[in-house]
Structure 1
């Protein structure tokens, strides 16, 4: 049995995800409104792999941001903190130093000074060039959104971005802050434009994306989307697709852009990308219903790249989504033909692995006539893995097709 000291120590281990709370403050009343609170998806990038904090009871870590300029407040409260003199020198984890290491400088530790700073949002305006403005109907109420593109040459943007980028720690796994001194980074930010005092416009930060300009031979560029985040209070509204459309608008018309790629996309972002790309490709002649019933071909890849800057790998994926959409799943012959087309593509890496294995076997035999123990997995095992891989992919495609139903007319 645990002794009382051990049990008490365990009771002072806090889950850091539970302890953290965020707010985007538009007005002073939001400070006391629990409905404005949202939580992190992860905290291991600040508080370690275990995502725990030791030495506190009833711990709360408040990270509040003014909605526009992102003035930041950090507050730590608890009902009890362990005293090392009472527990043989065991100390509580330090919280603020870990946060200070990640947050932008000049944050507020006083709620009064933070409240006073909210006045800055009355004059806050987004940095950069307006790329896209649109309106959404939210239960009969019109909400207005805008997307801007900026770089570090805009006055005040570097300081704003230092505050904005801290959100990646809580919502993008394996996130790194981009090098703001590298001019090849482009920054896209989304805002909600709403009426403030006396009808003057105010802006609330909604999300952002970063894009890096890679070189492509001989005189081209290949923009790579690195980080995309819509803040939790605004997720589920389709805003991620609008942010991606704004990014596309910036690059699609440029002759020097070869294609647009994405760096290690999350499952959620890949779904958004699939939706936007499939919707765009559905307007291309090479992706007509008649052509979709044929195998993926060179004209599809070329038209997708030339008109939409979609790379070949993503164009093939879009072809599979659009073909799945027109496939009659109740028709066994039609459905089986579709599955075979996708599985053949999924099996290509295994085919190459087989070829490389045969070459290796031949080389080893030439060096040593003795029997080698190297072997590939049995075919039955490969078939099972292939079927599982296909089922996962089909489920992902189904979600995209469901969203496409209201957008594309057969």
Structure 2
């Protein structure tokens, strides 16, 4: 009987990821780190069976991401009937291209003697250059129909499975029409003091992808017009020419570049292109995790603050006391608290999804209430509608505004609860929303004084922070009817990382 533990290796610890460049003598390692998780590849236990002192060295050329895998071990388990060592190459071949398995010597020789490396440039167009901590960086963007973009994505997207919980690699053998709806954004460091004539000046920092969801935009006309058309059309239609919602999907900054502000630069560069596009109607995010939510909130909030959007918004507190009475069937309509047509106009102008825009407005309105008056946090407020202190009235109506949004979003679930439990659930959720907004405001003060790193359209940080009892946001920006209510304790899956 074999000792399973003796022959089992933790996949996360045995696998080391490195990025290298040409240098005198042998390739130079620029950075190395371990994956955060490997369960999509090696199973829930994240173990590799059948080896002692196993080491997996997964290396990439820092510029064009050419991959190589070196497998080292002291002993390999000899098969006993159906019990045999994990076939590492067979397991990994679905996740990395075949060139990864070339001999280590051939890979090293290619890195050292690749004369084209010095003239390498990222594919697509240069969107932005910036400096962080005295180092220079560039953001490039290209469509997935570009063969060079495809090759880079094919080589690097195993990182999605290592660092983005629930992330799914892209299908690169899809039809051109579908591939044309994907756009890829690369962050590269522009290196100086190159050690070798064959050293590329570019080193990968991270990347993100976005997808175009074609949307129907009705036209208003006083009379109907009949138009003839044929299918298929006589000339190809580009997805970029059609009205669409842009969805940020995978978002990854490599661990060696965390906390240097690259997530902020990448996110802002992406949304800047979306806002500038005449065919993009709205910016959405796929299954963001908590860290990416923070990054997105910080960046969107600053944008709305800087462009004067927030200055046009105010919470009305001079409400008819009869509407504020605590009677069954009597409530204050949202339209009495905010100028809804104005909000919708501002939201569309900034191309922000409804759920995200509502949260940002709530966050801003909370800052207009004196900190002392909003200390109640999770407390249930009564008779504040008639309070003489305008900050007390504002906080009362602010909470009422959030309650209405929470209830409307989760009505189908809440209506199944007893009235008392339903009221308690909404009250508790609003208190937790307020507490989370206070956390965001504290974070913004620190963020504005330094560089934000954020974590992606969703990330992989796991925080010990209070979960909302009713998660009214959902995991992404899908249509409201497509998102289910999530209760406290439910795990939130992430599709992308923005660290």
How far off is 1:243 after superposition?
0.7
Does residue 130 of structure 2 align to residue 134 of structure 1?
yes
Q: Determine the structure 2 residue equivalent to 1:227.
A: 250
Q: CA deviation at 1:14?
A: 1.9
In the other structure, the counterpart of 2:5 is 10
Taking the aligned partners of 1:27 and 1:292, their CA distance within structure 2 comes to: 58
Work out whether residues 65 and 72 of structure 1, in 8 Å CA contact, stay in contact via their aligned partners in 2: yes
Q: Partner of 1:127: helix, strand, or coil?
A: coil
CA separation of 1:76/1:292 partners in 2, compared to 1, >3 Å: closer, same or farther?
farther
Superposed CA offset, 1:205-239 (max 9, x none): 11111111111222621111111111111111110
Q: Is the 8 A contact 1:260 1:309 kept in 2?
A: yes
Superposed CA deviations along residues 323-376 of structure 1, whole A, max 9, x for unmatched, are: 444543234574894486257425644467668877x8xxxxxxxxxxxxx856
Give a deviation string over 1:263-286, Cα, whole Å, max 9, x none: 111222221111111111002334
Find the residue that maps to 1:282 and give its secondary structure: helix
Give the Cα–Cα distance (whole angstroms) in 2 for the partners of residues 186 and 103 of structure 1. Answer: 21
Secondary structure of residue in 1 paired with 2:246: strand
CA distance in 1, matches of 2:251, 2:25: 26
Structure with greater proportional helix content: 1
Question: CA separation of 1:211/1:355 partners in 2, compared to 1, >3 Å: closer, same or farther?
Answer: closer
CA change 1:89–1:155 in 2 (3 A) is: closer
Contact 2:130/2:136 (8 A) holds in 1? yes
Residue aligning to 1:314: 356
User: RMSD value over aligned CA atoms?
Assistant: 3.2
CA contact (8 A) 2:21 2:28 kept: no
When normalised by structure 1's length, the TM-score is: 0.81
Q: Could you list the runs of 5+ residues in structure 2 that have no partner in the other structure?
A: 218-241, 317-336, 375-388, 452-499
Q: 1: CA distance between counterparts of 2:35 and 2:430? A: 35
Query: Cα 1:375–1:320, aligned 2, differ >3 Å: closer, same or farther?
Result: closer
Supply the distance in 2 between the matched residues of 1:356 and 1:72 (Cα, whole angstroms): 48
Q: How many residue pairs are counted as aligned between the two chains?
A: 380
Which ranges in structure 1 are unaligned for 5 or more consecutive residues? 361-373
- Residue of structure 1 equivalent to 2:282: 259
Q: In the superposition, relative to structure 1, how do residues 287 and 256 fare at CA in structure 2: closer, same or farther (>3 Å)?
A: same
| 1:275 is the counterpart of 2:298 | yes
Contact 1:25–1:31 under 8 Å retained in 2: no
Q: Is the 8 A contact 2:369 2:394 kept in 1?
A: no
Equivalent residue, structure 1, for 2:439: 395
> CA–CA distance in 1 between the matches of 2:10 and 2:434?
37
Checking the alignment, whether the CA contact within 8 Å between 1:186 and 1:212 is kept in structure 2 is: yes
Conservation of the 8 A alpha-carbon contact between 2:20 and 2:28: no
Does structure 1 retain, via aligned residues, the 8 Å contact 2:21–2:200? no
Q: Structure 1 CA distance, aligned partners of 2:71 and 2:140?
A: 34
Residues 142 and 183 in structure 2, CA contact (< 8 A), matched pair in contact too: yes
- The higher-RCO structure (CA 8 Å, 6+ apart) is 2
- Can you list the C-alpha shifts for 1:129-164, whole angstroms capped at 9, x where unaligned? 11111122x2xxx21111111124435332222102
Partners of 1:134 and 1:34 in 2: CA distance: 24
Which residue does 1:368 correspond to in 2?
none
- Cα 1:76–1:338 change in 2 (3 A) is farther
3-state SS in 2 of match to 1:65:
strand
Following superposition of structure 1 onto structure 2, how do residues 75-94 of structure 1 map, counting pairs within 5 Å? 75-85=70-80, 90-94=83-87
Aligned mates of 2:198, 2:108 — CA distance in 1? 21
